[in-house]
Structure 1
Amino acid sequence: MQKWWVLIVAAFMFFSVTTVDTETAEASGQGVVSEAMKHQGTPYQWGGKTPSGFDCSGFVAYAFAQEGIDLPFGTANQVNEGSRVSRSNLQAGDIVFFSGTYRSGVSHNGIYIGNNQFVHTSASQGVTVSSMNNSYWAPKYHSARRVADSSSSEAVASTADVSSSSSDKATVVNANNLNVRSGPSLSNSRIDTISGGTTVDVEEEYNYWAKVSDGSTEGYVSLRFLDMDNDGSTSTANVSSVSSSGQQAEIINTSNVNVRSGGSMSDSVTGSISGGSTVEVQEEFNYWAKVSDGSTEGFVSLRFLDMK
């Protein structure tokens, strides 16, 4: 009898552990919010990454880590994670960013919880909930990113973000060697480099990243350093990819965005447009757009535009 009792207990423990592991592996926006809200009142600590004390990006990274999503530290790094979300489409668990708090550019972030509120770490109050509509935060709102799915409990930050399969050629247009990473995020480790001017095969695209190969090195690079061209030549903007636009967009870079004479990193810089400026999008060329703010006209990377 004792033997059967031991077997029953062992089976129960096995299925309990299996269930916990499965639930822990799932990541949802609401799960991130629930985790974040547990830490209200935790004191602010510059560079803090644990429940003994958080700064803003450390708090965001911790909450997402408990749901199985690894994020880099620092608002400047987190603002490039996942996919961009317009303010009108915010969902619980999205990361919201603010600029011009203690320095220019993106300088603060938190986790959206719904009803125009977000939970974040305040230097004066620690982890707290604030309204995005109040007089302090409203004019400082910058942008939002989605790295967890609020409805289906699936991570969105890495390979789930495949936008298309590809067999295109591209030229690396970075001035020096381009870092190749193990995954589509700045938080992934550098595994090699590819020299500027090298032609690579583009295997897949992930938001602002691409999986590429030059025959000896394979990994992920930022799309901003690739001049896409299906026939493998080194032309600038592919005219066949031009689409007329006419819509408006906001510059979301943390500082001034370089404006170039053509749709490629190899084209010369002809001016700059300040972050936060509203521009008219005249045409789109692959990952570039021809824009104008009324005084400056030229090409900027689409990664710096929040389309309205």
Structure 2
Amino acid sequence: MYDRGLSVLEQYGLESTAVYRGRGALICQTDQGLVLIKEFCGTPKKLEYQACLLSCIGEKSQVLSDEILPNQEGAYISADKDNISYVVKRWYEGKECDTRSEGDIYRGITAMADLHRVMQLPVQAHYVRQPLTTEFARHNAELRKIRKFVSAKRKKNEFELAFLDTIRRFLGHGEEALKHLEASEYTQLYENTIARGLVCHGEFNQHNVLMLHEKNAEKATAVTNFDKWGFDVQMADLYQFMRKILEKQDWDISLGKSMIQAYEEIRPISKMEKENLKIRFAYPEKYWKLANYYYTHNKAWISKKNLEKLNRLANQEERWRNFVESL
């Protein structure tokens, strides 16, 4: 099973000299450099737009990306002998962004800002992200539904008891964030963003930012895995990356402000975007994710890791709220 998908390289005129595993993919050394082979489960149309987006990045940005390679027939999707579809991407040798390294963090932030300056496409309605108001309202409704379900249980485990002990506070934060969002200028910001065709990466986290160290060359940064791209307010990317980092750094206010400053040195943030960024941070997204994971998975056995995560969120609540107010 190790070489599954490897045969598609023939369709690109490439021959591998070494192969090793990546995240759900094969990384191959070829005579034309590193490439990644990954099974493809999306739609051909969106992949074509993604290829256009990455081409635009290659032309206008200093940040490297995982360019999608066409095969010898000019197609971006190649099927192997078992008729399984694959894509082949240009790849890079480097390490993932270290969430404990301020140098890596700032390189990731500046790479994002540089990408946001150039990530723009003609609008395709099918790839427009739903409004944040819709998302917040749905998540709040799901939290209320989960609270009702857990409250009705006669015998409750540790996770369920901890959830009931915290749900009132965190749901309150969620409802407050939705009220602020509805009272803000978000609708105007969202509509202006879509009209301009601004694009988000969609999954901008430390795993998709590679720090490249090439001999006798300046350090370079590569951003990969644009599969979840879409038309949306670009603060969604900034919020997602910052939240992942700040949760691990115990909501360090100084670090958070420095990250925003580093972003603004490349790509200024408007007043409406700053307001939207603060509201995104005010929503208890991680809490909703934990609750939703519990509700949609096997409830007969609850992972201790998830209980630890819930307790950590409760312990970090004050520092999280202080960070939100600092914005």
TM-score (norm. length: structure 1): 0.28
Which structure has greater helix proportion? Answer: 2
Which structure has greater strand proportion? Answer: 1
Higher RCO structure (Cα 8 Å, ≥6 apart)? 2
TM-score (norm. length: structure 2): 0.27
